[in-house]
Amino acid sequence: MKFVILQQVKSRAMLSAAIHTGIFRRKPPQTPRYHQCFCSLTTIDYPPLHHQPQWSGLHNWRRSPLNRDRHWGPNGPAHQNNEIEHASSYPNFSSCSSLAEIAAVILSTPDPLAKAKLSHAAYVKWRREGLPIGVSDAPSTPSRPAKPQLVSPKDIPSPKSSGFFADFAHVADDESRHFIWCSQRLAELGFSYGDMPAHGVLWAECEKSSDNVAARLACIPLVQEARGLDAGPRLVNKLTGFGDHRTSSIVARIADEEVAHVAVGVYWFDSICQKLGRVPGSAFSDILKEYNVEIKGPFNHSAREVAGIPREWYDPSPATNNENKLSEVYERLACIISMEQENSSLGKPPK
């Protein structure tokens, strides 16, 4: 269950990070400003790109209908109707007149389940009501509950297209649904969010890249989210080996939906590089060095390729390929040994 807890933390942090990116000002102007970029799917602007191929499913993901499958039923995702009405009862939500104002409310809400419901309500409002992007003051860090305990483990143009905000509002909605599924499964197993320690690496990466949109995209979707593509199938196999098919199904669905989130990051990173006249691959490499970000294997090359991350961005040399293959063998052996040890201890009486 530790892996599911970590997935919760990741979902919650990514939810906050996605909303936090690009829509808050550091110092409020005297007169409020609103960017009149409305949410009708026919008016959202996506600048054309001229570099590497994008994920083939990106267009359909952007135009997909609102996903109401917020409950994990006996046979997988299931419809849930009352979440929007419940979210609308939260203080200050109904009075919000822009996406940024709602985002500030979400970031200031400590309860993770409430964050998830408010995020979905915000995306619904964005899609249905022509909500402007707007501006608002953000807390320096998102509010969080007392548990879990957290333990240790420049001049870039900001995207002004309404498509940027539409995409990351969609990502936040997906992540809120992932958290709902994980939270439900934890409750079914007798646990709740915060019962086990977690790490704050994801938000630390957000803080590190808060001054640079390109760095935020590189650090979060292209590194942190991409790690989910690598680890997801291995975690699914491990959970299946433990006989927990329900949890493995949830993790498999989440991992599959993360492809879109990585693809969105690739698209907007490429868009920024295009504005700067930079080659995306070299810009990505420079950002990783500047912000001291390390990429570790083993890699799920096929999933990364589908999401649109060129292999040379993260795995440039044949020598690196050999090291990654060896690392993957070691990890598989360690996983097998761990599973055998846990299985052998099941029949032993407690000491």
Q: How far apart are CA 309 and CA 145, in angstroms?
A: 35
Residue 330 makes CB contacts below 8 A (sequence gap 6+) with none
pLDDT range class, residue 165, cuts 50, 70, 90: very high
Give rounded-to-5 percent helix, strand, coil for the chain. Answer: 60, 5, 40
Q: Enter the DSSP assignment of 253.
A: H
**Which burial class, exposed, middle or buried, applies to 73 when counting CB atoms under 10 A from its CB (0-12, 13-18, 19+)?**
exposed
Question: Two tokens at 282?
Answer: 């070299």
Q: How far apart are CA 76 and CA 295, in angstroms?
A: 33
CA distance readout (Å), 20 to 16, 132, 282: 6, 16, 26
The tens digit of pLDDT for each residue in 101-130 reads 999 999 999 988 888 889 998 888 888 888
pLDDT at 311 over 80: yes
pLDDT range class, residue 49, cuts 50, 70, 90: confident
| Domain range list for the chain | 2-341
Virtual torsion, Cα 224, 227, 233, 237, nearest 10 deg = -90
Scanning 81-225, the segments in alpha helix (DSSP H) are 83-88, 99-107, 112-129, 162-188, 201-208, 213-219
pLDDT value at position 94? 81
Stretch 127-134: mean pLDDT:
86
pLDDT value at position 2? 38
pLDDT value at position 139? 83
Burial 1-33 (b: 16+ CB within 10 A, else e): eeebbbbbbbbbbbbbbbbbbbbbeeeeeeeee
The rounded Cα 344 to chain-centroid distance in angstroms is 36
Stretch 32-58: mean pLDDT:
63
Stretch 271-291: mean pLDDT:
91
> For a pLDDT cut of 70, what percent of the chain falls above it?
72
pTM, entire model:
0.58
Q: Which of 247-251, 279-283, 316-320 has the highest mean pLDDT?
A: 247-251
pLDDT value at position 195? 92
pLDDT value at position 50? 73
Confirm if 165 and 133 have CB atoms less than 8 A apart.
yes
pLDDT value at position 36? 35
